[in-house]
Chains A and B, each alone.
Chain A
Amino acid sequence: MALLEMRGLTKIYDQGKIEVPALRGIDLTVEKGEFTTIFGPSGSGKTTLLNLIGCLDRPTAGTIIFDGQELGGLDKKDLAIIRRHHVGFVFQSYNLIPVLTAYENVEFAIRLVNKYEKKEIRDRVMRILAAVGLAGLENRKPNELSGGQKQRVAIARALVKEPKLVLADEPSANLDSKTSEEVLQVMAKMNRELGTTFIFSTHDPLVMEYARRLIEIRDGQVAKDQRRE
């Protein structure tokens, strides 16, 4: 069953007198539960595509249907609500809030959803932190955690609200290969256990190894779309 359907997706950045096309009519369908990697050279349009999928930006032309809902007619507030409930983000530079503990950083995401009781929030946060291997570190602040641990907190933050989709932009870029592998294993495990759809944007061959679908973007178009067993 399709989680995402993109038809004729086009994004043109208006930079004064120059128009820079980032995406040129992309057609893609992403099924629920996929573990997909989008790769391609710098400037190929990977991040732009992720931003559009993640409801962070609007396309210049074309349509995106997210879980049966057309995103084109939604305003800023509606897009924020979709992100809050259904999309998790993992960023290259973790983007944790430095004054909050690991627990509070994860709690932040689930608090926004605003549908759980206090006790349930605590249970969910503790469970997801344990699942990403951070049991016992919940009271540490980001500056007291290693890069890998920070990225695990970011993954826990993305997953705690059980989103339909997790978008990870270069999640291993700041990690050594051993830590990258650990982090990817965590995400693969979550994909298997929770059925969460993951879409990565990366240059990292290790990430590509884990992916069951590889989409290559070149010059704002899909150059290759390969599924693996």
Chain B
Amino acid sequence: MGFLTRLAFKNLFRHKLRTFVSIIAIAFSVMIVVFARGYVVGLIDNLTLEHIQYDSGHIKLITHEYRDEQRLLPLNYPVDGLNGGGLAEMIAALEKVEGVAMVVPRLKFGAMVSTGDELVTMGGWGVDPELETAFTGIEDYLVEGRMPQPGRLEVLMGTALLAKINRRVGEKVTIVFNTAFNSLRGVTFNIVGRTKSGIKLLDEVVFYLPLDQAQRLLEMDGQVTELLLATPDRKLVSQVLPRVQALLAEYGADGRYLALGYKETSDLIFFMDIAKVIYNQIYIFLVLLACIVVINTMLMIVKERTREIGMMSALGLESKDIMRLFLTEGAIMGVTGSLIGAVCGSLLNGYFAKNGIDFSAATSGFSAEIVFNSMVYPLSSPGNTVFAFFLGVVIVTIACVIPARRAARFEPTEAMRA
């Protein structure tokens, strides 16, 4: 009934300050929901993306033994082909699997550099620079120099690692490491690039070198420690993974190799998925808190307008219409507050999505094994804004059922005597 809606709207102007306070309470909570959800989803998405890029790929292919000892970066459990066909043939076979967009080889090994006073331990990643850039966008973190090129003894290092070993881009560094045959070797490289990513692992621990050089120096021609498979979308992993496993089985290599989805290689991702669900419940409680203000306001309104409710009932307004009138008043406050909150939260998210939130001080104590970028960029998405808006409207309207039912239950004679 349009007339009741108009009346509900006009009723909100009876006590402008009270209505304003209620709307602000809703707006504030919805704004927090938009921001918190954007922040949490952004954090989890960033964390997942970085885990995929720098640890697991969408699907990680390693040997069973390597999985058990990968923290020690062993070189004696390599990925070197399917049934003696060689690595290149294995990569070619994997690239043909439907849903596999890219196969990224990595050869990871432990190394150290002497600064004169101390030995700095680090991790070497032999990579195909072109594939690595295409997969991780590592070039975006380059602040000086360039990527190492195949065929050359060149390395790329993080800013903090360079500071630790007291070197600069353009200088040389002698890196000591064990080969696959366990013989100690020292090789001098040119430092051709410097990165700054905010990811502790990349900034302080890892140096990149061309894959062909790593294979040659480690005496691991045609071998890598892992193959990372990329799919066009991480949602496709559940479909692609069985195909990869089927391929391994087809070659009789499933006893040797393991194909793992990105969620299987990190407990953190699993817990983050649970956290997302928990946070969604927390948002509901957050809006419910604001609803206490609205319920209080509405109960005051019902008390003040008891005689008026009696009069309307005497004129023939049914209980359901009285309930609808008060629910409409609550819904108007809910829509207005949620809209303001959603817009403000969205603007706030937009700002931080662009500029990021720097947690480097808070995360300085984190282990480098946790691939975590200390600059967190909240997710600014229309879906998030719409979610928070509807959450606000629905919960506030539902909360208004309490005072509205109270109003609708009055007997007209009792109400008019109030």
Q: Chain A interface mostly helix, strand, loop or mixed?
A: helix
> Which residues of the other chain, A, contact B319 by a CB distance below 8 angstroms?
76-77, 80
Query: Which of the listed residues A56, A81, A113, A157 has the most CB atoms from chain B within 10 Å of its own CB?
Result: A56
Q: What 1/0 flags go to A64-97 for Cβ under 8 Å of B?
A: 0000000000001100111111010101010101
> Which residues of the other chain, A, contact B1 by a CB distance below 8 angstroms?
111
Q: Which residue of B lies closest to A169 (CB)?
A: B416
Q: A129 at the A/B interface (Cβ < 8 Å)? A: no
Structural contact, A54 and B318, CB atoms closer than 8 A: no
Q: B412 at the A/B interface (Cβ < 8 Å)? A: yes
Cα distance, A95 to B309, chains bound together (Å): 10
With A84-B316, A112-B317 as contacts: A95 and B10 at CB distance below 8 Å = no
> Which residues of the other chain, A, contact B14 by a CB distance below 8 angstroms?
98-99
Q: Which residue of B lies closest to A114 (CB)?
A: B1
Structural contact, A77 and B318, CB atoms closer than 8 A: yes
Q: A51 at the A/B interface (Cβ < 8 Å)? A: yes
Contact of A51 among B3, B11, B413 (CB under 8 A): B413
Structural contact, A57 and B311, CB atoms closer than 8 A: no
A50 CB to closest chain B CB, in angstroms? 10
Contact of B11 among A54, A87, A99 (CB under 8 A): A99
Q: A109 at the A/B interface (Cβ < 8 Å)? A: yes
A122 CB to closest chain B CB, in angstroms? 13
Structural contact, B311 and A81, CB atoms closer than 8 A: no
Cα distance, A89 to B312, chains bound together (Å): 10
With A80-B317, A83-B316, A112-B317 as contacts: A95 and B413 at CB distance below 8 Å = no
Structural contact, B316 and A100, CB atoms closer than 8 A: no
With A95-B308, A97-B7, A108-B3 as contacts: A56 and B314 at CB distance below 8 Å = yes
> Which residues of the other chain, A, contact B312 by a CB distance below 8 angstroms?
97, 108
A48 CB to closest chain B CB, in angstroms? 9
B: residues with CB less than 8 A from A are: 1, 3, 7, 10-11, 13-14, 307-308, 310-319, 411-413, 416
A: residues with CB less than 8 A from B are: 51, 54, 56-57, 76-77, 80-85, 87, 89, 91, 93, 95, 97-100, 107-109, 111-113, 157
Please list the 3 inter-chain residue pairs (A to B) with the smallest Cβ-Cβ separation, ordered nearest first. Answer: A84-B316, A95-B311, A99-B10
